[in-house]
Structure 1
Amino acid sequence: MTAPTGPLSRSVNVERLNKDRAEITVEASPEECAALARDFKIPGIRDLVGRFRLGGSLTRLHVGGSVEATVTQVCTVTLEPFEAKVKEPVDVAFTNADILNDTDAEDVELPDPIMNGRIDFGALTAEFLALGLDPYPRKPGVAFEPVTAGEDPLPFADLKALKAKLGGTD
């Protein structure tokens, strides 16, 4: 058995599942949420759940569903922490790793590999949570107000005035 690749790991042998009706649910523990929050460099994650439906065969296994969580992020405008809901849809194709080894196409989008008959649904949950995070989070109701140069003096206006007073040239 291989070691988990991240703080959230739920490796499932998909060869033994009924692909037409299989459903997988991943619920992260508080410890796993805390470890993911550290990895993602955000203040907190709670109530992380991945719900997946499987369809197809091992040559083309489709995984659909969603990942949901409540995250605490830091507002990029006010620098205050705030909570936000994340809900990210999941739509991924997998195939047996042996099939991928036989493919030479470079420009074709290839399915993710099924390694040793297994898919890590914990890692998939963490990946889609990361995709759902806002890279520039803003606290609700906060707007970024750009600084405009209008009536305010320019940074070197005083120096220019002093230079003019002393008889310097522009």
Structure 2
Amino acid sequence: MTATPDERAALAKRFDLVSIDRLRAHFAIRREAAGITARGRVEADLVQACSVTGEPVTTHVDEAAELLFVPEQEDAGDEVELSADALDSVPYTGDRIDLGEAAAETMALALDPFPRSPGAAAALREAGVLTEEEAKPLGPLAGLRDKLEGR
């Protein structure tokens, strides 16, 4: 399935993206005892705003998706312990699952929450923000370094 221009524009607005130039997903669907499994890939080309400068950052998403659609229950009751290889569960109501929404959410979860443009480091430096290395605390030994260096 491929998202239409109108669908991509709506998703870009929903996920606060500059644009989504392409969004495509393909799934293999299978009914199983636990529910309906959907396994496939979500691919997208999009533009995010740099979290520092606001400049456009081109992003490519190519994400595997493995989902288990289960009928929505009013009261799930006790917590359930999941194994490491358990699929993400997606509740659904009625007699249909929404693969478009699954593709959109898979794309959104694959995005860098703090995208950086090539000019981001310089903008941060100019604003006086320290790098992680510069800000790295030495804990209880911080004063010892200065004493050893004769400061």
Please state which band the TM-score falls in when normalised by the shorter chain: 0.5 to 0.7
Residue segments in structure 1 that go unaligned for 5+ positions in a row = 1-25, 149-170
Alpha-carbon deviation of 1:66? 1.4
Alpha-carbon deviation of 1:89? 1.7
Is the aligned partner of 1:94 residue 2:69? yes
2:98 pairs, out of 100, 120, 126, with 120
Structure 2 counterparts to residues 145-156 of structure 1, below 5 A: 145=125, 147-148=129-130
Residue segments in structure 2 that go unaligned for 5+ positions in a row = 83-87, 131-151
Aligned residues: 121
The answer on whether the counterparts of 2:30 and 2:37 sit within 8 Å (CA) in structure 1 is: yes
Which aligned runs of 4 or more in structure 1 are off by greater than 6 angstroms?
Answer: none
Alpha-carbon deviation of 1:129? 1.2
TM-score computed with the length of structure 2 as normaliser: 0.67
Is the aligned partner of 1:104 residue 2:77? yes
Classify the secondary structure of the residue corresponding to 1:124: helix
The aligned counterpart of 1:49 is: 24
The higher-RCO structure (CA 8 Å, 6+ apart) is 1
Residues 90-110 of structure 1 deviation map (CA, whole Å, 9 limit, x = unaligned): 11112234xx45853324458
| Letter matched to residue 130 of structure 1 | A
What is the CA–CA distance in structure 2 between the aligned matches of 1:76 and 1:107, rounded to whole Å? Answer: 37
TM-score computed with the length of structure 1 as normaliser: 0.60
Q: Compute the RMSD of aligned alpha carbons.
A: 2.5
The aligned counterpart of 1:31 is: 6
